[in-house]
A and B are shown apart, each in its own frame.
Chain A
Amino acid sequence: DQQVKQNSPSLSVQEGRISILNCDYTNSMFDYFLWYKKYPAEGPTFLISISSIKDKNEDGRFTVFLNKSAKHLSLHIVPSQPGDSAVYFCAAHTNTGNQFYFGTGTSLTVIP
């Protein structure tokens, strides 16, 4: 059973506009969330993370928001650039376990 879900397989955005990628989870024991970015023929690379004690974390053009009551997180990219075109995975972890759980990924296309 998928504990981390990304319900939008793909997203297209115009360059310069905001990209919003969403992620939902079911396990209330998750205490840390991460976003990874993946280009074709490469492994995923870490992008940004957030602890469950926070509701927002910002790093340059990337901001992650966490809504614990809704079990929902989102990644905002502002402004979007063509180089942001990639597949984005959200992942979650519990502080009592040793496993990481990944979503199914959202393919972002930024149109010049």
Chain B
Amino acid sequence: EAQVTQNPRYLITVTGKKLTVTCSQNMNHEYMSWYRQDPGLGLRQIYYSMNVEVTDKGDVPEGYKVSRKEKRNFPLILESPSPNQTSLYFCASSSSVSSYNEQFFGPGTRLTVL
């Protein structure tokens, strides 16, 4: 089954404790992306990757890191989480960055930073 998986689905942590949210896709997609969803702000792009070893900042990259060492994986790293990073996070992938390719989204990771 073609899918984007994220882990964990729910996470409660404390300020400053490094964490990683994993994302994996099995569709051989080139383009992968991370979004956060906040009330009244919709979905905002954090980072995206055009292909292996190619990553770039989206609209809200501060406080986040990513890596793309393999085509299928695109982990999101919070080196020192803060309460303002409490949010719902989505990973997405598409076959390319072309406008005409829809993005497939993972189920989401709800993160709470205390």
Q: A65: CB under 8 A from chain B?
A: no
If over half of A's interface residues share one DSSP class (helix, strand or loop), that class is named, otherwise mixed; here it is: strand
A19 to B105, CA, bound (A): 25
Contact yes or no, B105 A43, CB < 8 A: yes
Contact yes or no, B41 A99, CB < 8 A: no
Shortest CB distance B29–A (Å)? 14
Given contacts A41-B108, A98-B50, A98-B56, contact A89 B102 (CB under 8 A): no
What interface size band does chain A fall in?
Answer: 20 to 34
Residues 81-114 of chain B, each 1 if its beta carbon lies under 8 Å from chain A, else 0? 0000000001010000101101111111000000
For the A-B complex, the count of residue pairs with Cβ-Cβ distances under 8 Å equals 62
Contact yes or no, A98 B105, CB < 8 A: no
Which residues in A have their C-beta under 8 angstroms from that of B35? Answer: 102
What interface size band does chain B fall in?
Answer: 20 to 34
Shortest CB distance B35–A (Å)? 7
Residues 27-63 of chain A, each 1 if its beta carbon lies under 8 Å from chain B, else 0? 0000110101000011111100101000000000000
Given contacts A32-B99, A43-B4, A43-B90, contact A105 B105 (CB under 8 A): no
Shortest CB distance B32–A (Å)? 11
